[in-house]
Amino acid sequence: MTDDDWLAGQFEGQRTRLRAVAYRMLGSISEADDAVQEAWLRVSRAGVDGVDNLAGWLTTVVARVSLNLLKARDRRREESIELRVPDPILSPESGVDPEQQAVLADSVGLALMVVLETLTPAERVAFVLHDLFAVSFDDIAPLLDRTPAATRQLASRARRRVQGQAPVGDPETVRQRAAVDAFLAAARDGDFDALVAVLDPDVVLRADGGRARERFTMTISGARTVASQAQLAQKLAPFARPVLINGAAGVITIAGDRVLSIMAFTVVHDKIATIDVLYDPDRLEKLKIPRLPPTESTDTGGISR
């Protein structure tokens, strides 16, 4: 076996973990794959002479590539829509496949990914590497051209924002699904009181319509305010199909072969605490849709259970 073959094998053994790092950094599946591929090109050119901790070194290479992409995105942000719901990872309710499970480890729900989108590139790198992948501040600091103490402050600032805006959901998907089904049933029936009852008093709804549907891009909060804006859910409810979105109970709405929206929910103590909606037709068209079971018409108006 040549040195190049050995290095390629070592990299492939780390690819899934590196893809998980890049996805958390970038919130984009395609950009995460591009970042991992760029990291491989850099590693294959540079070699690994003098590298003692290969896994850690590969992580920092992917982090550096991701940081450059984040900085470029940040420079373009003034030209883009303020709110962005990251790429969701969709799975059938039967479960997440092993590759997805590795990417989604550590409870990387879509609500957390949305909050990560609001961080500065440096805050995001510091938080993701330290809090989600246990990389030391001493190792992160050179990536950011900061001291370890300053890097710690970046991660702390990011952590406060995440804790304040990305609640940790109930772990049982059965309980999550019960709350989501109750929301859809109430929306379909136009039952305002039932909607309010299933929503946390401080629920936050974030919707990303992209440029094509910019008027649907919004962030609103409060149970009664969110319930009053549920007309869209009422229209889409007959087309709703249950899926797992980043490992949690969610909904994809499909009419024929066209995806209309995805709705991700965070359920805390049997109440819906966040709703994140991707309604951008350009991005929905590119989603990788899992194989779903046939729809069964029921007394819930055609919503598959």
CA separation for the pair 242, 248 (Å, rounded): 10
C-alpha 103/C-alpha 99 separation (Å) is 7
Domain co-membership, 137 together with 263? no
Burial class (CB in 10 A: 0-12, 13-18, 19+), 250: buried
**Domain span at residue 53?**
1-80
Contacts of residue 40, defined as CB under 8 A and 6 or more positions apart, other chains included, come to: 11
**C-alpha angle with apex 77: 118 to 43, nearest 5 degrees?**
80
One domain for residues 197 and 285: yes
Cα dihedral: 195, 107, 155, 274 (round 10)? -10
Band of the pLDDT at 54, cuts 50, 70, 90? confident
Residues 180 and 90 both lie in one domain? yes
Residue 73 has pLDDT above 50, yes or no: yes
Assess whether 43 and 96 both reside in one domain.
no
91 with 204, same domain?
yes
| Closest of 240, 145, 149, 229 to residue 190, by C-alpha | 229
pLDDT tens, residue by residue, 219-278: 999 999 999 887 667 777 788 899 999 989 999 999 888 899 999 999 999 999 999 999
Look up the CATH number of the domain holding residue 145: 1.10.10.10
Treating both helix axes as pointing N-terminal to C-terminal, what angle do 54-76 and 3-26 enclose, rounded to 10 degrees?
A: 40
- The model's pTM is 0.84
For residue 295, pLDDT over 80 is answered with no
The confidence score (pLDDT) of residue 67 equals 96
Measured CA to CA, the distance from residue 259 to residue 281 in angstroms comes to: 8
- Indicate if 72 and 153 belong to the same structural domain: no
Let me know whether 277 and 180 are in one domain: yes
Residues in the chain: 305
Q: Span 2-26, mean pLDDT?
A: 89
Mean pLDDT of the chain: 86
Residue that finishes a domain, picked among 125, 142, 165:
165
Please say whether the beta carbons of 158 and 123 come within 8 A. Answer: yes
The tally of domains found in the chain comes to: 3
Q: Give the pLDDT confidence score for residue 289 in this predicted structure.
A: 81
Mean per-residue pLDDT, 80-108: 70
Give 300's pLDDT tier (boundaries 50, 70, 90): very low
Domain boundary (131, 165, 199) is at 165
Do 130 and 61 fall into the same domain?
no
For residues 53 and 127, membership in a common domain is answered with no
95 and 217, same structural domain? yes
Q: Would you say residue 185 has pLDDT above 60?
A: yes
Evaluated on CA atoms 297, 265, 67, 143, the torsion sign reads negative
CATH of the domain at 6: 1.10.1740.10
Whole-angstrom Cα distance, residue 39 to residue 24?
A: 16
Name the pLDDT band for 81 (thresholds 50, 70, 90).
low
137 CB-near residues (< 8 Å, 6+ apart): 126, 130, 148, 149, 151, 152, 155
Q: Are residues 27 and 157 both part of a single domain?
A: no
Q: Mean per-residue pLDDT for 99-123?
A: 78
Q: What is the mean pLDDT of residues 190-215?
A: 92
**Tokens (6 digits) for 72:** 């470029």
Q: Are residue 93 and residue 186 in the same domain, yes or no?
A: yes
